[in-house]
Chain A
Amino acid sequence: MQTGRYFAIWVLSVLCCQGATPSASVILPMTETQKQGALFIDALSVPSPGEVFVAMNKACRPNWATLVTSISAPVTTERSQLALGVGVLAANGYIAVEAQDGQQVKNVGREMMQVAKALGISESLMGRGNSLMQFADNNDWEALAEELEATENEVKATMVGQKDKELVSLTSAAAWLRGVEVATAVVLGSPTLQGASVIEQPALARRLSLQLGDLPGRVRQGDRVVMVRDYLDQIAAILERVGAGKDPSMEKKRNEIQKIHELSASAVVSIMASANASPTPMMHSIPIQASEGISNIKAVPTNTPDSSSPSKP
């Protein structure tokens, strides 16, 4: 009896230490109606590039310094393209934060202010731009990551305030595409495709595409929006294939991820092309030999113990 009492006390203390709260009632599984009726909110349901990269860090410790690229804001008056550009730039900012590249963060901040000016919303973002510069100067990487997201969200909120709420979907889709481009490059640089599970999110790709399909007529029919939607659909189809296949071979999986990388990279190039350049012709799925696929990719080395690249604090 005393043993039982001591056991009960031990169980209680373990529960208390873990902060667990015993549930008061049984929780039933969701019904199909509940699943279909679940809210999809851009600010919460679409993961930020920061989340993707944090997951990549755990899976395969990328060498972020080699992934930093300088991208200029597109020179255009097309609001759809500007909204897409904000997404790509925001994702680039997260990469710069992961690489702890303060100068690149500042560059991204400047380009985002350029786009905001073209959208007519720069005044409300001046404070954000200054904060980005300050955090970059102070090497406050955590604060920078949060400020980047806050800046992106403020752009989105201002778009909504300007009766341009549909542009929000474009920004989110573009940020995700840039994130996928980077993540696939990292995965392809690993002989064992480490980190692949992070990018296997076909449902998200489909949802982003659906959102673009729900945009008002003129916006939906714009060249770049059509292009981005097509890329999202192609990527979703490949991800669904990868997910449905029973233990695909490494070679086959590598080929598929290579295709996703090329599609997302093409999408980003077209998004950021200036107004006098026509969008890159849409890529369609093409068979790629494994060796060709690997040679087409600039391998992104992951951090090794001997690496001298900067590491996240």
Chain B
Amino acid sequence: MLQAAGSGAIETPVNQPLMEEGSQESRNSAPPVPTESRRLALETAGAFENEGFRIRDGEWHNSLSKGKEVFLQVNLFAGNQYWFVAASADNSQKMRIVAFDASGKPIQGESWQDGGAHPRSRTALGVAPAVSGVYFLAVELLDTPGTSPVDVSLVYAYK
């Protein structure tokens, strides 16, 4: 939130930088340290780079509870191919990603589940939309050994 320095009663012209007092040390604050979940997600997505995919720099990062899926809106382009990758640093979390079109109907995709070093804690979905536009992703925690919410990161790659 842009805030005027000094008294809140003073009207500050819009063309002057508006900085909170005492924010000098945050001026060049380093970005947050990537989580282990993000690192795993990026490592998985990195495999698709060998096939010409580019990984987007952004991520969705949050906690998932079993049975409570989270929906994300994305905008995809016809002709492009996408891989959406979700990962958790906690082993044995079974997750699923499903894609839906703008009307909310599930669309066909190719699923991948990690059965290796991080059993079930990484999952990916590949889609190739026929039409450009709004799509939705559902990220769901299907199974977990514990009861606490699980830290999950989702990234995607395209080509």
Query: Which A residues are closer than 8 A to B by beta carbons?
Result: 18-21, 23-24, 27-32, 34-35, 37-48, 50-52, 54-55, 58-59, 76-80, 120-121, 123-124, 142, 145-146, 149-150, 152-154, 157-158, 161-166, 197-198, 200-201, 203-204, 216, 218-219, 222, 275
Specify the main secondary structure of chain B where it touches its partner: loop
Name the CB-closest residue of A to B94: A24
B156: min CB distance to chain A, Å: 7
Are the C-beta atoms of A77 and B71 separated by less than 8 Å? Answer: no
* Least distance between B114 CB and chain A CB atoms (Å): 11
A21-B80 contact in complex given A124-B28, A166-B2, C-beta closer than 8 Å: no
The contact string, 1 if C-beta is below 8 Å from chain A, for chain B 37-67, is 0000000000000000011111110000000
- Chain A residues with Cβ under 8 A from B77's Cβ? 47, 51-52, 54-55, 198
A163:B112 contact, CB within 8 angstroms: no
Known contacts A31-B104, A44-B156, A203 near B3 by CB under 8 Å: no
- Of B2, B30, B112, B159, the contact of A79 (CB 8 Å cutoff): B2
Count of CB-CB pairs between chains A and B under 8 Å: 175
Knowing A44-B74, A45-B75, A161-B26 are in contact, say whether A55-B132 is a contact too (CB < 8 A). yes
Query: Interface residue tally of chain B, by bracket?
Result: 35 or more
Q: Within the assembled complex, what's the spacing in Å between the Cα atoms of A23 and B140?
A: 13
User: B residues within 8 A CB of A197?
Assistant: 78, 131-132
- Specify the chain A residue showing the minimal Cβ separation from B58: A43
In Å, the complex CA distance between A23 and B124 comes to: 13
Q: Is the CB of B16 within 8 A of A43?
A: no
Question: Which chain B residues (57-101) contact chain A, with CB distance < 8 Å?
Answer: 57-60, 70-80, 98, 100
Known: A30-B136, A59-B79, A163-B26. A44 touches B106 (CB 8 A): no
- 24 A–B contacts from the bound complex (CB under 8 Å): A19-B111, A21-B112, A27-B106, A29-B105, A30-B71, A30-B136, A40-B73, A41-B58, A41-B60, A44-B59, A45-B74, A52-B77, A54-B158, A55-B77, A55-B80, A77-B17, A120-B19, A146-B54, A162-B26, A163-B26, A198-B79, A218-B14, A218-B18, A222-B14
**CB–CB B79/A158 < 8 A:** no
Chain B residue nearest in CB terms to A23: B111
Q: 1/0 per position for B110-132, CB-CB distance to A under 8 A?
A: 11110000000000000000011
Is B15 interfacial (CB 8 A cutoff)?
Answer: yes
CB distance from B66 to the nearest CB of A (A): 14
Q: How far is the CA of A38 from the CA of B14 in the complex (A)?
A: 34
Partner of A153, one of B57, B110, B156, B158: B57
B58 to chain A, nearest CB (A): 2
Establish whether residues A35 and B71, one from each chain, have CB atoms under 8 Å apart when the complex forms: yes
Contact: A164 with B2, CB < 8 Å?
Answer: yes
CB distance from B49 to the nearest CB of A (A): 8
Please indicate the chain B residues that have their CB under 8 angstroms from the CB of A121 in the complex. 27-28
Contact assessment for A149 and B56 in the assembled complex, using a CB-CB cutoff below 8 Å: yes
Closest A residue by C-beta to B105: A29
Q: A21-B113, A41-B72, A158-B31 are in contact. Are A55 and B23 (CB under 8 A)?
A: no
Name B3-20 residues within 8 Å CB distance of A.
3, 14-20
Is B1 an interface residue when CB atoms closer than 8 A count as contact? yes
- B32: A residues at CB distance < 8 A: 157
Chain A residues near B28 (CB-CB < 8 A):
120-121, 123-124, 158
Which 6 pairs, one residue from A and one from B, show the smallest C-beta to C-beta distance? A43-B58, A30-B104, A55-B77, A38-B71, A58-B79, A161-B29
Instruction: State whether B30 touches A51 (Cβ < 8 A).
Output: no
CA distance A146 to B73 in the complex (A): 22
Bound complex: CA A31 to CA B105 (Å): 9
User: What's the minimum C-beta distance from B56 to chain A, rounded to whole angstroms?
Assistant: 6
Q: Which residue of B lies closest to A225 (CB)?
A: B14
Query: A77 is contacted by which of B3, B15, B78 (Cβ under 8 Å)?
Result: B15
Chain B's closest residue to A78 (CB) is B15
- Which of A27, A158, A201 contacts B75, CB < 8 Å? A201
Complexed CA–CA distance, A19 and B113 (Å) = 9
Q: Verify if B133 is at the interface (C-beta below 8 Å from A).
A: yes
CB pair A157–B71 under 8 Å, yes or no, is no
Which residues of the partner chain B approach A27 to less than 8 Å between Cβ atoms?
A: 98, 106
Which residues of the other chain, A, contact B98 by a CB distance below 8 angstroms?
27
User: A51-B158, A76-B15 in contact; A120/B58 too (CB < 8 A)?
Assistant: no
Bound CA span A136–B103, Å: 42
